[in-house]
Structure 1
Amino acid sequence: MPTLKIIAPVALALSVISAPAAAAHTWTTSWGAAAQWPTPSTSYYGPHWSEEGFADQTLRQIIRLSTGGTTVRVNLSNVYGKTPLTIDAAAVAKSLKGAATGAASLLTFNGHPSIVIPPGQQQLSDPVRLRVRNLEKLAITLHFIQPTGPATFHHFAQATSYLAKGYHLIDPNPAAFTGTSNSWYYLTGVQVSGGTPTTSVALFGDSLTDGVGSTIDADNRYPDQLAERLAARPRPLGVINAGIGGNRLLTDSPEYGQNGLARFQRDVLDRPGVRSVIIMQGVNDLAEWNKPQQATAAQLISGHRRLIQSAHAKGLTVIGATIMPMKGSDLAYSQPAEAVRDQVNHWIRTSGAYDHVVDFDRVVRAPADSDAVRAEYDSGDGIHLNDAGYDAIARSINLDIL
C-alpha cells in the first residue's frame, strides 16, 4: 500500500476581526457549519453556486439555532477565496416558510453596513439585539453587487438556500427568490448571548455527521436531533455540526475539502464556548473509492490520537464514535476496508485514549450481519442513515458525558 502523506493539524492563517463591544457579551456558538473550497456542480449531487459565485444578487440562507438568547452575531468566511469578498449588505430575520421572513435586522461590521473580507479570513458581524429561542430558525440574507468570484461554501447543507436577482435584502416576500440550492455559502457560524449561560458541543466528522441521507429542510441530522434532546434540559448545550460530506481525516480531497487534521483547529477548537467534541471520522480514508490512498488502521489511529491531543490541550472533553457499517455501499465496502474498520473500532472501544466512547456501530448494525446497516435505518445507499437512523444514534448518547 502506498505511504500516505499525513498533514499536520495546523490551522490556516485566519484573521477574525472582533466586533465592537464584543467583550461585554459571553458568546456561545449556537449553530455552525464547516467551510469547504469551491468545487464543480455534479449531476449526482445536484447544482450549487460555489464556482460561479454571486453578482447583483441577494442570497437568503436558512439555519436552525440550537440555543437561544437576546443577542446574535454572524460569522462569514472567505477562507478559501482567492480575491477580497465584498458583502454590500447583510440582514438577519426570523425564518417563516421557505424564503419568507419576519421583520429583518440589518447587520453591521465594525459599525459599517458593508464589509470587504480579505482572502483567507473571516468576519464577525457586530452584535444585534434579537431575542431567539432554542431551536428557532433564522434567515441570514446577503446582498452582492460586484462579482464575488468562487465562493467558500458548505456543500451538503441538507437545507434549501434561496437566490434572487437584484436587491431584496429585507424583502419578507419569497416571490423574488426563484433560485434554490442545497448548500450554504460564506456562512459558518451564528453565536448567541444573553440566554441561559451555555457552552457547546462540537460534532466533528464526515457525511454521517453532516446528515447526508436525512430529509432536506427537516433538521433531522444527528446533530439536530441531539440538539433537541439538549434543548429540553434546564441548562442546554449549543450544538455545532462540523461534519463535511466525503471528508477524510488524513488527506485532502478535491471534492470534499481539507483533511480533518488540518481543519480541526478552525472548525472545532477556535469556536467560542466549546466544552466537548464527538469525533466520528475515518470511513472515507479506508473506503474502497479512496484507492490508492486507503489508510491502514495504524494511520487512522495515529490521526485520532493527534485530534485527541489537540482537543485535550484546549481543555475539551473528547468523545470517540465508532465507525458505522458500510457493507451495502458498492463505493465504500471491501473486505480489506472492513478489516481496518474493525481494528479501528476495537481501538476506540478499548484503548482508553478517548474520555468517553459512543458506540454508533452497535446502535445501527443489522442483527444478522454486523457489517451492514439495519434496513430500517438505511437511507438506501447502504452507508448513510435515514431520519430514524440519525435519531437512533443521537438518542444513544449519554448527555451527561457532554
Structure 2
Amino acid sequence: MTTVLPAQAWTALPAGAALLEALDAAAGTTRLVGGAVRDGLLGLVCSDIDLATRLTPDEVMQRLRSAGLKAVPTGIAHGTITAVGAGLVAEITTLRRDVHSFGRHAEVAFTGDWREDAARRDFTINALYADMPGGDVHDYWGGIADLAARRVRFIGDPQQRIAEDHLRILRFFRFSARFAAQIDGDGLAACTARANDLMALSRERIAMELRLLLGLANPVPMLAVMLDSGIFRPVLPELDAARLSVLARTIAAEAALPALPKSWERRLAALLLPADPRAAEVTARLKLSNPERARIAAAVQPTDAPPYYPAAWRDSAAAVIDRLLIAGDPDAARPLIGWQRPRLPASGKDIIARGVPPGPEVAARLGVFERAWVAAGFPGDTGVIAAMLDAAAQG
C-alpha cells in the first residue's frame, strides 16, 4: 500500500508550481525529502523545504533562472542550490553518495540512484522521499515503520554513521527527544561509545544542537539519559544531573505563564549553579552571542528578595523573571511581564538647583535620590519627588 503525503501548501504558490515544473518533479526527476516529508506524515508544520534531484547543480541553476526564480549557490560544491521566489525558499540538492567522510566533512560524488542518496542520510525517518505534487512516499530504509513505531534509528551501522558525521550523536538525542517513544538501544550504545568524538566538533555546532534540544517541550528525560551516559562530559563537564530537577521546576514555572516566550538561555542557566563563575566559561566555550552570554550571566545570579521591581530596575525585568522561574515562582514573575523601566524623573540639574556645586558630588547625590526613588516604588507625584531631591541634596 502506497503512503501518500498530505498536500503541501507551498506547492500551490506560483513560485512553488514554477519550481516543481522547472525541476521536472512530475516526471520523478525531483522529490521532496527529509524533515518536510517526516513532519508532513505526522501532521506537523515544517517550514523547511528540501528537495533532492537527479539534475546536476549547474542544471538546477540554469533551470531556476529560466523559471524566473533566484538561484543561490549556497553549497554548490556539495550539490546544494537555494531557490528563492515570492513566499518561497527551498534547498535543492543533487543526489549524492559519499566517497570519503571525515567527521563533518565529506567528499561526495553525484549519482542518479535514490537509494544511494538515502543511504548517506542519518536516520530512517529522515530518509523519506515524496513525489511532488502527488505525494507518493518512497521509503528505502524502513522509515515509515519507524515513524509509526515512534522510533529513531540510524541507517545501517550506527558507529559508522557517527564516524561519518560526529554531530549525529547530538542529533540522535534531539530527534529521539522529539519523536521517539523510547530510545533505540543500538543508537544509544554507539553514541555512548563515541562521545569523545564531540571534541572534534566546532563549539558553535554544539551550541546550536543544545539550543534546539533545550527548546523542546520537555528535554529533561533525554538530558538525564545523556548525562547518565556521559555524552556531555567531553565538551560540557559543568552540566550536572543534580540540576535536572531545577530545570524541570523551571519548565513547570514556564508552563504557568503561557504568554511568556520560552527561553533556551533560561533553561541552560537552570542547569548551572547559582552565581557559578563557570557559567561564563561555558558560554564563552560555546561561543554564544553577547546577548545570550549576558542573559545567562544575569539569570544565574541569586534571586533578590521581594519586592522585585528594584532588581528589575537594576538588571532588567527579563533577568528577574528568569531568576524567579528558575526558582519555581511564576506568581512572583507574572507582574513583571511587560514591565517597562520608568524614566528617572530627575537629573544633575535638579541637584545643582538645590545648592550642590557642580562636580562629582552631583552624581553621588543623584545616585542617593535614584536609590530612594526606586525603593519607594517609582513614585510619580511631583511633591514626593521634590522632597526626595531635597533629602538627597542635603546628604
Q: TM-score, normalised by structure 2?
A: 0.28
Q: Judging by fraction of residues, say which structure has more helix.
A: 2
TM-score by length of 1: 0.28
Q: Which has the higher strand share?
A: 1
Tell me which structure has the larger Cα radius of gyration.
2
Name the structure, 1 or 2, with higher relative contact order (CA <8 Å, separation 6+). Answer: 1
